[in-house]
Amino acid sequence: MAIRIGVVGLGFGSEFVPIYLKHPDVATVAICDADEGKLHELGNRFGIESRFTKLEQMLEADSCDAVHILTPVPLHVPQSLAVLNSGRHCACAVPMATDLEGIRKVISATRRSGKNYMMMETTAYDRACIFVRDKVRSGEMGNLTFLRGTYFQDLEGSYPTYWRAMPPMLYATHAVAPLLSIAGTRARKVFCLGSGKLGPTIQQPGANTFPLQTAIFRLDGTDVAAEVTRSWFQTARPYTEAFSVYGDAAGFEWQQVESEEPVLYEMQQPVADQRGREVTARRYLPPLRPDLYPAELAEFADGWHGGSHPHLAHEFVRSIVEDRPPAIDEVTSADWTAPGICANESSLREGEPVAIPRY
């Protein structure tokens, strides 16, 4: 069965259009963007005839069986609902929503429609996340002791103003998702503090005041805690979406500088009359995994976001073809999105614990 894919939002979406065009289970690709210049440039480049300036037009034209949304964050919930309510499968860029009510609405629409919803979280298919997740599942990391996720990005300059009003933790999935995916569980409780104060040229009236928020999560069904730190402004550190995982047999740390390689630690066996156990450290770049998707997509393996894009597109397509839930279904999407929303609530209460809903 070959399916028809619609891609909405051709900024980031332009990364996925050629992947879908090459996927052996995709029959056609339709594109949509409010910017007609961008729409026609991309359409002409790839020979795509089905072009729309509004999502509603794409849905009314019946040009696709599934839609991948890559539009600005405030549009994610209403556009996901529009796609699902039209009886189509929906993939959406992160985050799923920026409040718990938005999460509830998307889950309800998914279940009413009987179609698939998948939050397209890039870090879950980053080469490093795949590598560490496999090592944890094989037992090579031993018992997990602690996890840390970090996402720093400076949004001063010409970014849309709405980012200045948004608490960093409402866009925390890049730091939360790899930890929960690797640990194979959800976060059940959070303690979070805001740190610093936005300067007067950034602060929006009545909106977020924190340039940075940092949280500790208790992971469900375990004794393990995870730390997540998110920053939008006023933090002198280059862009990074990073995670570290520590077990009692091995550990993994994301590189401090993006041009370096990650560090893999291995705990040695204890030696009699020696204080402490030796830990070896070596730089190690996890392999790309084009073996996990069709050979037609191999040219996209070493792409942006740790080579995650062909993995995401393939998982979304195959979940539809195989008539099964995607790996990041509506529940997993909620489990990776709600922790940041609840962390922000905790920060507004000066770190009081907040329970994270179970979906």
Rounded-to-integer distance, Cα 349 and Cα 346, Å: 5
The pLDDT of 166-171, averaged and rounded, is 98
CA-derived radius of gyration, the chain = 21
Confidence band of 271 (pLDDT split at 50, 70, 90): confident
Quote the number of domains for the chain: 2
CA neighbor of 190 nearest in space, from 334, 339, 358, 333: 339
The answer on 18 and 162 residing in a single domain is no
Greater model confidence, 272 or 293: 293
The answer on 58 and 146 residing in a single domain is no
The bridge status of strand 51-52 relative to strand 66-69 is: unpaired
Confidence band of 1 (pLDDT split at 50, 70, 90): confident
Rounded-to-integer distance, Cα 229 and Cα 97, Å: 19
The answer on 283 and 158 residing in a single domain is yes
Cα diameter, the chain: 76
What is the CATH classification number for the domain harbouring 62? 3.40.50.720
The answer on 182 and 38 residing in a single domain is no
The answer on 87 and 145 residing in a single domain is no
The answer on 152 and 272 residing in a single domain is yes
DSSP state of 233: S
The answer on 104 and 230 residing in a single domain is no
Residues with Cβ within 8 Å of residue 188, at least 6 apart in sequence: 217, 218, 219, 220, 355, 356, 358
Q: What is the DSSP string of 86-109?
A: TT-EEEEPSPS-SSHHHHHHHHHH
- Structure pTM? 0.97
The answer on 190 and 268 residing in a single domain is yes
The answer on 113 and 256 residing in a single domain is no
The answer on 255 and 159 residing in a single domain is yes
- Cβ neighbours around 237 below 10 Å, total: 12
The answer on 111 and 24 residing in a single domain is yes
Q: What is the pLDDT of residue 277?
A: 87
What range defines the domain where residue 197 resides?
A: 124-287+338-355
What is the CATH classification number for the domain harbouring 232? 3.30.360.10
The answer on 189 and 133 residing in a single domain is yes
SS3 41: helix
